Structure 1
Amino acid sequence: MADDREHIKGLTHLGNKETRYIFDYDPSLLETFENPNPHRDTFVKFNCPEFTSLCPITGQPDFATIYISYVPDRLMVESKSLKLYLFSFRNHGGFHEDCVNKIADDLIRLLDPKYLEVWGKFTPRGGISIDPYVNYGKKGTKWEAIAEDRLAHHDMYPEKVDNR
Structure 2
Amino acid sequence: MENKGLTLLGGKTEYKQNYAPEVLEAFENKHPENDYWVRFNCPEFTSLCPITGQPDFATIQIDYIPDIKMVESKSLKLYLFSFRNHGAFHEDCVNIIMKDLIKLMNPKYIEVTGFFTPRGGISIYPYCNYGRPDTEFYEMAKNRLKNHK
Name the residue aligned to 2:50.
56
Name the residue aligned to 1:9.
4
Any idea what SS the aligned residue of 1:40 has? Answer: coil
Deviation, 1:42, is 1.3
Is 1:99 the counterpart of 2:93? The answer is yes
Any idea what SS the aligned residue of 2:58 has? Answer: strand
Name the residue aligned to 1:116.
110
**Residues 33-44 of structure 1: matches in 2 within 5 Å?**
33-44=27-38
Unaligned runs of 5+ in 2: none
Q: 2:39 aligns with which of 16, 20, 45?
A: 45
Any idea what SS the aligned residue of 2:57 has? Answer: strand
The 2-side partners of 1:34 and 1:23 are apart by 28
Unaligned runs of 5+ in 1: 156-164
The 2-side partners of 1:131 and 1:23 are apart by 25
Q: 2:17 aligns with which of 18, 23, 37?
A: 23
Deviation, 1:30, is 0.2
What is the one-letter code of the residue matched to 1:105?
K
Name the residue aligned to 1:162.
none
Give the length in aligned residue pairs.
149
Deviations 1:67-120 (A, max 9, x none): 000001100000000000000000000000001100011001111100000000
Any idea what SS the aligned residue of 1:123 has? Answer: strand
Is 1:142 the counterpart of 2:136? The answer is yes
TM-score computed with the length of structure 1 as normaliser: 0.89
The 2-side partners of 1:128 and 1:23 are apart by 28
TM-score computed with the length of structure 2 as normaliser: 0.98
Identity of aligned residues (%): 66
Name the residue aligned to 1:82.
76
Whose strand proportion is higher, 1 or 2?
2
Q: Which has the larger radius of gyration?
A: 1
The 1-side partners of 2:103 and 2:24 are apart by 11
The 1-side partners of 2:47 and 2:116 are apart by 10
